[in-house]
Amino acid sequence: MNHKYLLTLLFLTASQLANAQFAKIIDKDGYVNVRKQATVNSAIVSKIAADEIVYAFPDQKLGDWVSLDYTNSQNKSVTGYVHNTRIKFIESYKHIPNISFDESKATFRSKDVTVEMRSDKFDYEKNKSYFLSTKYEGYTIVDMFKGQKLWGTDGGIPSSHYISIKAKIKGRTVLVPEKEIENLFNINNEFAACYYDDLNDILYITSVNSDGAGGYAVLFTIEKGKYKARVVTMPF
């Protein structure tokens, strides 16, 4: 890859990540309208149900509006604008302090919540039979692992992967299922964070992993002591 292009890509990615973040749809009507443009008179391109998780891009130039990306239940990507009163940023919930991290582990702890994220070097030789490639015009890219979309490699060989993600919430221990972490690679434990919605007993575990064209953001949700779901997206 051209060195100048790579530097430009990294700069743009860093700029986006400075503000982009996961958010939750909140609307008493049970859904929010996604507009084509940042105005109430703009065409409605989609509707998103309350409590759904989206990836939002705050921008002062948009005033009271926020641009967002969302993948619906039909795996269709939705892009548009919603009023900022219709979303709540995950970062606005109670922050669980990070007490330590290194290349193999990140630990978060508060009075009622403990989270431990473990990762390790990835053994490609041992796992190479699980990878699948897709042929495009003029090139082939490795894009599947154990039947799931591959995240974090941009077609290359993974260097690291998650071993486990475990949370203890008010005495209840919850493990994120292996299926939910096995296709996530090139882990950045220093960019992990945890937030807790004490009122509704919901824990959010998030991280931005890999870099450049392989970068992705992931959010795991644990609600009332049970694992609920994950959302993975490209943060730019």
pLDDT tens digits for 168-177?
999 999 999 9
Burial class (CB in 10 A: 0-12, 13-18, 19+), 15: exposed
3 state SS of 14: helix
- Distance, in Å, from the CA atom of 20 to the CA atom of 14, rounded to the nearest integer, reads 10
Task: Give the residue extent of every domain in the chain.
Answer: 3-91, 93-233
Over range 11-17, report the average pLDDT: 44
pLDDT at 4: 45
**Beta-carbon neighbour count of residue 31 at 10 Å?**
14
- Distance, in Å, from the CA atom of 149 to the CA atom of 183, rounded to the nearest integer, reads 7
| CATH architecture entry for 3-91 | Roll (2.30)
Residues 168-215: tens digit of each pLDDT:
999 999 999 999 999 999 999 999 999 999 999 999 999 999 988 899
Q: Do 186 and 159 meet the contact criterion of CB atoms below 8 Å apart?
A: yes
Residue 58 — pLDDT band, cuts 50, 70, 90?
A: confident
Q: What is the pTM of this model?
A: 0.89
- Distance, in Å, from the CA atom of 196 to the CA atom of 109, rounded to the nearest integer, reads 11
